[in-house]
Structure 1
Amino acid sequence: NKAACYDKEGRVEDSMGECNKALDLKPGNVKALFRRGKAYLALNQLDEAMADMRQLLTIEPGSQAAQQQVQLIKGRQRQQDNKDKAVFSKMFSKAPPPKKAPPAGGGSEGAGA
């Protein structure tokens, strides 16, 4: 199976392409769903990875491998949510008050004219 070979070589996009071909021919192909889900996870496309694993689990509810991947994806989603919260909290935290401008007319301009 080409997808498995590509997966072992770390060629994630190629593996995903082969999985897509297999799923076009047979939409319920559990091996292709599993490998594509893992490829999505490797690319940090968490929603797509979860969708593939959930579809696989509707076909094979007892799949331990898919259940493990779901837990891994959920963990990654929590990590991403925490990172997002940290970024957004910094973006929307109160800004320091603006610096006061120097008083008008306090300079030496125009003196002695």
Structure 2
Amino acid sequence: MTAVFAKQERWDRVLFYAKKASELDPKNTKTKFRMGQAYLRLENVDEAKTLLEQVLAENPGDALVKQELSKVAVANKQREEKEKMIYRAMMTKLAQENERDESK
């Protein structure tokens, strides 16, 4: 079921059914992998990383898991860059407000 929804890129459905499957078999690595994929696509990068690292620990040679973890690394880098830009914009705005206040 999760594979079908993954092909359709319906990540909310993938996550829903993977969680249900995980309740029945918590050690199933394919289920953890699908949950990790879904979390990543739904931008819950930390949860995706945790699950995918668990799967990799159980299957160290799995190329698909390594590929997903590289996507996690890219997503983390993008998130960090976005946070830096937001912080810079805030600091610039504060500096401009301080300059205006001082010139009064």
Q: Return the TM-score normalized by structure 2.
A: 0.87
Aligned residues: 100
Aligned 1:23-38 pairs, distance under 5 A: 23-38=22-37
- The reply to whether residue 76 of structure 1 matches residue 78 of structure 2 is no
Query: Partner of 1:98 in structure 2?
Result: 100
**1:47 has 2:46 as partner:** yes
CA distance in 1 between partners of 2:78 and 2:8 (Å) = 27
Provide the TM-score with structure 1 as the length reference. Answer: 0.81
> Counterpart of 1:98 in structure 2: which amino acid?
R
User: Letter of the aligned partner of 1:74 in structure 2?
Assistant: A
Q: Percent identity?
A: 28
- Aligned-pair distance for 1:23? 1.1
User: Cα deviations across residues 47-98 of structure 1 (Å, max 9, x unaligned)?
Assistant: 0110110110121111111111111110110011011001111102322512
CA distance in 1, matches of 2:8, 2:29: 21
The structure whose residues are more often helix, as a share, is: 2
Instruction: For residue 100 of structure 2, give the secondary structure of its aligned residue in structure 1.
Output: coil
**Which amino acid in the other structure matches residue 53 of structure 2?**
R
- 2:96 is paired with a residue whose SS is coil
CA distance in 2 between counterparts of 1:59 and 1:43 reads 24
Greater Cα shift, 90-99 or 33-42:
90-99
RMSD of equivalent CA atoms: 1.5
For residues 9-24 of structure 1, the aligned pairs below 5 Å read 9-24=8-23
Asked which structure has the greater CA Rg, the reply is: 1
Asked if the contact 1:37–1:52 (Cα under 8 Å) also holds between the matched residues in 2, the reply is: yes
Q: How far 1:10 moved relative to its partner? A: 2.1
Structure 1: runs of 5+ lacking an equivalent: 102-113
2:87 counterpart residue number? 88
Residue 3 of structure 1 contacts residue 14 of structure 1 at CA under 8 Å; is this kept in 2? yes
**In the aligned structure 2, how far is the partner of 1:15 from the partner of 1:72?**
18
